[in-house]
Structure 1
Amino acid sequence: MRRWFWIAALLVFATVAFKPLLFRAGEALLVIEDVAAGPGASRLKAWRAAPVREAITYRLSGKTNTSDVYRPGGGEQARAIVVLVPGIVRLGNDDPRIVAFAETMARSRFLVFVPDLQSLRDLSIRSEDVGELSALTWHIASKETAGAEKSVGIVAFSYAAGPAILAAMDPQTRRLVRFVYTVGTYYDIVSLGTYLTTGYFREGPDRRWQTQTPSSYATWVFVHSSAAWLKDPTDRRILRAMSEAKLADPDVDVRGFAVQLGPEGQAVYRLLLNRDPEKAARLISELPASLLAEFQRLDLRLRNMADLKATLILVHGRDDTLIPYSESVRLAAAADADRTHLFIIGSLAHVELGASGTLDLWTLARASYLLLSERDAMPPPVAHRLSG
């Protein structure tokens, strides 16, 4: 009898001690199912009330900004704050995929801020976005958590993940950011430019080249974003017209535009025509100085990753044709190993969950569990006072 008593006591203790972990594990699975469902039905949607979405305005450095805020529905209190940064899409924070993901986060008891960054709607990433995201993070932390340390998380997609990581490294905000969760980020602008023009990529300078067909959308967004930094207004206009034509129809012939380009534009076009990965670095170095300066401001490879004090959670699809998974592999190798977690998914298709197998679901569940663990370790919001 005594033996059975102690066995029963042990089972009760284990149930009580591990109940939060088991609950979080179950919630992580529900989160993955809800992300895969998009706006469709899921058990998480059936379990928790629909989030409340509102648009707010706020002023930073004399400029009026806008953001969407998603709060848990049904009167439930948020457990933590996250800034969600969309990728480069014309709909910006109104993109249905972003709306669905923000609602999943809010159902997971995050208070979610989705800034409306005009650059992303313009199909560009700009170094100015770093300052804007840093200022927003500081503003949210000061308003919602009285400036508590490790009080804000950042989730960022695709090319916008680079500026988001840089914002988390900013001296003004690095103590405030507890985690950065990225899906399909870049690391090295030179290796990214090599891939987008040649299709070749590798997991490190001493690793073998791999190849796949890069997304035409990603290549021409790269051109579209780069055009803004040329000094020649005619070349800026022509490259934008070329990229808009290609974004509308990947098969359109743009050679008629190319013959009109001046020296700056021709340097960009020579890079586009190159298919030899060994020549790409030299061609990138020959780009206009103003464009190279912007690349350097956005290049994570040129930064001291020790300045990132937040937990870094990297999720990347092996089948990603916009940004190869090798970028997240290289970033993970450069970052602090104790605070960095890399999850490579077989079928993710950049930022959209594909037909995942058991191993992919297990990997995604681990990433989701880690995200929820960070949430539960953060100070909760004290008020909803950012608007105005």
Structure 2
Amino acid sequence: MLAAFARPGLAHVRAAALLARFASVEEPKPWLARASAYEVSEQSESLETDSGPTRARLYSPRGIENPPALVVVPGVHRLGVDEPRLQRFARAIAASGVAVLTPEVKSLTEYRIEPFGIATIGAAASALAKRQHVERVGVMGMSFAGGLALLAAADERYRSGIGFVVAVGAHDDLARVGRFFVTNAIPDAEGHTVQMQAHDYGIAVLMCDHADDFFPPEDAAEAKETLRRWLWGEEKEARARAAKLQPASREKLEQLFDKKTAALAPEILRVVEARGPAMREVSPHGRLGALHVPVYLLHGAGDSVIPPTETGWLAKEVPPAYLRTQLISPAVQHVELHGEPTAGERWALVHFMAQVLEEARDTR
């Protein structure tokens, strides 16, 4: 009986240590540090996928034989598995006693959301399960990778290697999110319209992904590279590149750079409508009926890239028997911790992560 009560309590301590370690580059308080005292070894990996070899990094807790295992998939970011916040998060999880594999979804590093990402996630889960000598491992997808992770778990080609899914700041319907970028309004799953200011990052990603739809052939490649530089934070270089384009192309980019995106709205909405079939291929909406593993949903209450209403939709899409937890937290902003959370908000996050750690152990 004591062991039965002690295990959940220890999971909460490990979760608190994990979050403390991720929130700061400094070591957590001594009593928390002892709860996640495993040293972590790191090594580069290469995964075989349908689209060829894929980079990955494995974080292993030392001194644990056959630890629980989790694939953590980064969202849209040019650095992929080298992104510092992702690395810190992976180390924090590994220090709590869980082996972590971070695969690089090439399309997401290039600001494209494509079905190949689903295959990469499936291959990563299969490879990690084989390495850990287990049938299934957990998958945690961040941002747009969260929606892809859910699709992988529902896909008969890949679901045999996936034991549970954690979707953080994920999308349910990519086209709905695309319309939000320019309308600053989005419907929730209860039939209400939620108004909030969209982050201009979303428009830049959308235009970069579909540059051929926004720019003439002679400008499309350079415009895409210009948008990448903008997304990388290289504003001066982006503006210099934009100045070399034809007047109409330059004007579109300058409207984005100067946050005058209202003028772009009609064209963006036309592109979203035209690209509807392709966006449905990478959207969980209406496609999770075959999902039969536990699901944990986490979203930032103020997320202005993928609004938290999307997690409300996902909660309705996941078969009820498999939805474990849905948390909309003010302490999270998109896929990172935010601000100074209240004690209650801290506890909610700790409890969420404790459940995930316990699920990882049970899956093992």
TM-score range, shorter chain: 0.7 to 0.9
Which of 281, 302, 308 pairs up with 1:297? 281
Aligned ranges 1:44-123 → 2 under 5 Å: 44-47=32-35, 48-61=37-50, 63-73=52-62, 75-123=63-111
Partner of 1:161: 146
**C-alpha separation between the residues in 2 aligned to 1:63 and 1:31?**
34
Query: 1:77 deviation in Å?
Result: 2.9
Change (3 A) 1:78 1:202: farther
Give the secondary structure class of the aligned counterpart of 1:196.
helix
Q: Does the 8 A contact of 1:183 with 1:315 survive in 2?
A: yes
TM-score normalised according to structure 2 size: 0.84
What amino acid is the match of 1:102? A
Quick one: distance in 1 between partners of 2:150 and 2:4? 35
Matching residue of 1:221: 205
Aligned partner of 2:256 in structure 1 is: none
Give the letter for the 1:155 counterpart: M
**Within 2, Cα distance between the matches of 1:138 and 1:154?**
11
Match of 1:348 in 2: 332
2:257 aligned residue: none
CA distance in 2, matches of 1:17, 1:134: 33
For the 8 Å contact 2:73–2:102, the answer to whether it is kept is: yes
Q: Distance in 2 between matches of 1:311 and 1:229?
A: 39
Alpha-carbon distance between aligned partners in 2 of 1:61 and 1:224, rounded to the nearest angstrom = 24
Quick one: distance in 2 between partners of 1:69 and 1:358?
Answer: 33
Q: Deviations over 1:112-165 (max 9, x none)?
A: 11112222222222211111221232233244325x2xx210011111212222
CA-atom RMSD in angstroms: 3.1
Alpha-carbon displacement from aligned partner over 1:20-71 (angstroms, at most 9, x marks no partner): 222222222222222222x321145455133100012243458333211000
Amino acid at match of 2:227: S
Distance change in 2, residues 1:280/1:112 (3 Å): same
Q: TM-score, normalised by structure 1?
A: 0.79
1:311 aligns with 2:294: yes
Unaligned runs of 5+ in 2: 254-260
Query: SS state of the match for residue 300, structure 1?
Result: coil
In structure 2, give the amino acid aligned to 1:63: G
SS in 2 for 1:65: strand
Q: 1:172, CA displacement in angstroms? A: 2.1
**Identical amino acids, percent of aligned pairs:** 22
Structure 1 SS opposite 2:71 = strand
Give the letter aligned to residue 167 of structure 2: T
User: What is the rounded CA distance, in whole Å, between the counterparts of 1:242 and 1:62 in structure 2?
Assistant: 26
Q: How many aligned positions are there? A: 346
Answer whether contact 1:317 1:346 (CA < 8 A) is retained.
yes
Report the alpha carbon displacement of residue 374 of structure 1 after superposing the two structures with TM. 0.3
Pick aligned residue for 2:26 from 17, 21, 40: 40
